Structure 1
Amino acid sequence: MLPKRLVLGTGISTGSPTDFVTTILDQGAARTSAYVCFANVHMLVEAHRDPSFQQVLEEASLVTPDGTPVAAAVGWFHKQPQERVAGMDLVPVLLLEAARRNQSVYFYGTTPEVLQAIVARARRELPTLRIVGTHSPPFRPLTPEEDAADVAAINAADPDLLFVALGCPRQERWMANHRSQIKACMLGVGQAFLVYAGLEQRLPPWARRMGLEWTYRLWLEPRRLWRRYLVTNSHFLYLMTRSTLARLGGRG
């Protein structure tokens, strides 16, 4: 398992993107019922505010530094350079490697239209990829019967990798709640579904390296995301400053 380093109380897994891909595929092949969280600023702030969500991240097999600020914080606090390991970047690589290894995948979440676009691209670019199922659950809490039916369907399909897109923090809580029930490596990739489906564009690589993707998404969905990005990002900077001062003072 990849080592974790604490950032604002959350353990962030460290290693190269290749290390993460190999570890995820190995866990999928082992059917260990593991789950992977892709941590950005919003997720770390939510974990800092909510002990139950903090526990969800602590129990994850891997917590990748999805956001540029999170990767930079690992380097800042632990003097250890760390690349960003974003879900949007890992999804196409994982699908490619799964096809090469003859490992199977299942897509759970989002809408039927997005799932259809994902499958169409995967079948076009990776004709040997074993897609064993897709399902778009309702955008509401499931009844116990509905949840049991979804779990049964996933296990019957027997995927190595289960890609989950229910939105944060719902998808992370869903994976944690189903860790002992679903025998696959679950990945909470959220927005990566839209990007892979070709329904949302990404900024150029230079802008991603500067950590500007949040500004682009804010521009796309200002009414929904303004609070998450402006208020949450400000709170993240406050927590980083407080933690840094505490360390300098010998208290952290």
Structure 2
Amino acid sequence: MDYKLLNGVKTYAPSSRKQLIEFAFENQSILVAVNAEKILHATDESRNLINRNVGYPDGIGAVWALKKKGDKTVVKTPGCELWLDIVSAYQEDKTFYFVGGKQEVIEATIDKLKFEFKNIRISNFRNGYIKTKEEELALIEDIKTHKPDVVFVAMGSPKQELLMERIQKEHSALYQGLGGSFDVYTGNVKRAPKWWVKNNLEWAYRLINQPSRIKRQIHLVRFFANLHLNRY
């Protein structure tokens, strides 16, 4: 699978979600979402973190940048959808371990998964509040004991990626960082309606519903200006 450097951030350009998922399984990868913000604000530390793993185009900004670099068939792959694609395709063949969210959120997530995916094989799960080194070591030992094929960690970047790297040293699997996906999945956080998502206007919907995001969204203007000027 091809990739390009976008402001030094190695971003893969899958032509389908199936291709990305198969690549990740073959290489026992850590999947890291890449969007316009991560490209624009990349530091040596954040670049290295993504480049050690498999960065994929989670947002339309990353897709446009990849297409401008020549990858015309690249598809946008929202992380909040990708993990459910993995579950759906491999619920009978793979085992899953879930980490993240508040206790009530992770429990609601597991209940909904069991309802929607009747054949899902869940190794274990726990909330995302890992406060001590002892708790982290206990988590790693539990994962080593259960030997899941897939580990999802929803804690926000870069915390979730750094944790997944530490776990991966002890247990090889496919890993994906999910940010707030459990909250979206359980309805605690509302995602933009389908029309907005389909037309790549999810960012605008968020801005309308959360005007305080204007300071964050204004940076997207810089991103698109740099893209137009071929600075990536």
Out of 159, 163, 174, the residue aligned to residue 185 of structure 1 is 174
The DSSP-based 3-state class of the residue aligned with 1:54 is helix
Q: Count residues with an aligned counterpart.
A: 231
Out of 89, 97, 100, the residue aligned to residue 97 of structure 1 is 89
Q: Which residue of 2 aligns with 1:217?
A: 206
> What letter corresponds to residue 122 of structure 2 in structure 1?
I
Out of 88, 100, 112, the residue aligned to residue 80 of structure 2 is 88
- Separation in structure 2 between the aligned mates of residue 133 and residue 177 of structure 1, nearest angstrom: 18
Contact 1:8 1:240 in 2 (8 A): no
Q: How does 1:82-231 map to 2 (within 5 A)?
A: 82-101=74-93, 103-138=94-129, 142-223=131-212, 225-230=213-218
Change in CA separation of 1:222 and 1:113 when aligned onto 2, cut-off 3 Å:
farther
Deviation at 1:218, TM superposition (A): 3.5
> What letter corresponds to residue 57 of structure 1 in structure 2?
I
Q: Which residue of 2 aligns with 1:249?
A: none
Structure 1 segments unaligned to the other structure (5+ residues): 247-251
- Separation in structure 2 between the aligned mates of residue 137 and residue 195 of structure 1, nearest angstrom: 15
Over the aligned positions, Cα root-mean-square deviation in angstroms equals 2.2
**Greater length-normalized contact order (CA 8 Å, ≥ 6 residues apart):** 1
- Separation in structure 2 between the aligned mates of residue 217 and residue 191 of structure 1, nearest angstrom: 14
The DSSP-based 3-state class of the residue aligned with 2:40 is helix
> What letter corresponds to residue 13 of structure 1 in structure 2?
Y
Kindly provide the CA deviation profile for residues 194-232 of structure 1, in whole angstroms up to 9, marking residues without a partner as x: 222233333233322332212333444444x443333x3
> What letter corresponds to residue 236 of structure 1 in structure 2?
F
Out of 209, 224, 229, the residue aligned to residue 237 of structure 1 is 224
- Separation in structure 2 between the aligned mates of residue 26 and residue 79 of structure 1, nearest angstrom: 22
Change in CA separation of 1:164 and 1:157 when aligned onto 2, cut-off 3 Å:
same
Output the TM-score relative to the length of structure 1.
0.82
Structure 2 segments unaligned to the other structure (5+ residues): none
Q: How does 1:33-112 map to 2 (within 5 A)?
A: 34-46=29-41, 48=42, 50-60=43-53, 62-101=54-93, 103-112=94-103
Deviation at 1:237, TM superposition (A): 2.6
Q: Which residue of 1 aligns with 2:6?
A: 7
Kindly provide the CA deviation profile for residues 148-201 of structure 1, in whole angstroms up to 9, marking residues without a partner as x: 112112222211111111112222232234431232211012122222223333
Kindly provide the CA deviation profile for residues 111-162 of structure 1, in whole angstroms up to 9, marking residues without a partner as x: 11211121111111112101111111327xx432222112112222211111
Moved more, 62-71 or 147-156: 147-156
Percent identical among aligned pairs is 23
The DSSP-based 3-state class of the residue aligned with 1:78 is coil
Contact 1:117 1:198 in 2 (8 A): no
Output the TM-score relative to the length of structure 2.
0.88
Deviation at 1:236, TM superposition (A): 1.9
Deviation at 1:238, TM superposition (A): 4.1
- Separation in structure 2 between the aligned mates of residue 228 and residue 112 of structure 1, nearest angstrom: 29
